[in-house]
Amino acid sequence: MSSRRSFISQLGGALALPAFLEQAHAEGFQQLTNQVAGLSPQQMATNEDYWAWIKNEYTVSPNLLNLNNGGVCPQPKAVQDAHIRFYQYCNEAPSYYMWRILDQGREALRGKLAELAGCDAEELAINRNSTEGLNTIIFGLNLKAGDEVILTKQDYPNMINAWKQREKREGIKLVWLDFELPRENDEYFVERFVGAFTSKTKVVHITHLINWIGQIQPVRKIADEAHKRGIEVIVDGAHTFAHLDYKISDLGCDYFATSLHKWLCAPFGSGFSLYQKG
């Protein structure tokens, strides 16, 4: 006959099983990744075992070919499951589980994001997406009538509209660049930005990767020239974070924002912005 003690012991083992499976799953992926480490891009592209594993981790519809991963990437099943699990957990007792339990993980999460981004956790604020992060920065800058901001006609519309709103409200001057793209010469971009600098230029807005065509701009080179003249630099990193291999400190910018639901495949409506202190 089963005793109360043995029943509780069995129940504890059953409750621990999902966590064990998640750990085993992660270890399996790490082993697979280790097997392809050091392969060339061409070899990686033809490694059917690796890509079959990746494909099986997603729940995308077989009836549609998703070509717009830039807007929001689909989340792996592990992310979906965790999101749903914690959502249900919060609904068991929102004021307790959401505020008193899950909130305890907020700073730990911010620390891990900062480690991934290559910055100090105190520089980073979690928000919903690039637009929210960049608009917070744009509307928070101390600018006055006559101050100049350099941006381009290839920047993202939500950012352009935010700058236009400040222009109408406060009389700042927007200096527009219009690129002929694509370009493989970094100096083309640097020269265009530097040529627009004046003694009244206060801010340069740079889109790291222009979403319309995938053009990458040489942010660090432009930022270095701007800082020589005391100009602050804002970077829209919506399409490069977790897509290109870099740390935000490599860019030399003052402000940065990105969406985590794009190339990092995080839950929809997650992103962060930061102010580099030095």
CATH code (residue 211): 3.40.640.10
Q: Per-residue DSSP letters for 229-277?
A: TT-EEEEE-TTTTTTSS--GGGGT-SEEEEETTSTT-PPSS-EEEEE--
Q: How far is CA 213 from CA 205, 218, 242, in A?
A: 18, 15, 18
**CA atoms of 21 and 150, how far apart (whole Å):** 51
Contact criterion met (CB below 8 Å) for 125 and 106:
no
pLDDT per residue as tens digits for the range 244-256: 999 999 999 999 9
Domain extent at residue 229: 46-278
pTM of the model: 0.87
Give pLDDT tens digits along the chain (278 positions).
Answer: 445 444 444 434 443 445 555 677 778 788 888 888 888 989 988 989 888 988 899 999 989 888 887 889 999 998 999 999 999 999 999 999 999 999 999 999 999 999 999 999 999 999 999 999 999 999 999 999 999 999 999 999 999 999 999 999 999 999 999 999 999 999 999 999 999 999 999 999 999 999 989 999 999 999 999 999 999 999 999 999 999 999 999 999 999 999 999 999 999 999 999 998 76
Residues 6+ apart with CB under 8 A from 195: none
In a domain, 269, yes or no: yes
**CA atoms of 200 and 187, how far apart (whole Å):** 23
In a domain, 104, yes or no: yes
**What is the token pair recorded at 54?**
């990746």
Number of domains in the chain: 1
In a domain, 30, yes or no: no
Q: Other C-beta atoms within 10 Å of 58: how many?
A: 15
In a domain, 33, yes or no: no
In a domain, 158, yes or no: yes
Helix (H) or strand (E) run with residue 204 in it: strand 201-207
pLDDT of amino acid 222: 98
In a domain, 21, yes or no: no
pLDDT per residue as tens digits for the range 21-50: 567 777 878 888 888 888 898 998 898 988
Cα first-last separation, the chain = 68
In a domain, 128, yes or no: yes
**CA atoms of 242 and 209, how far apart (whole Å):** 12
**What is the token pair recorded at 206?**
């740079």
Angle CA 201–225–155, to nearest 5: 65
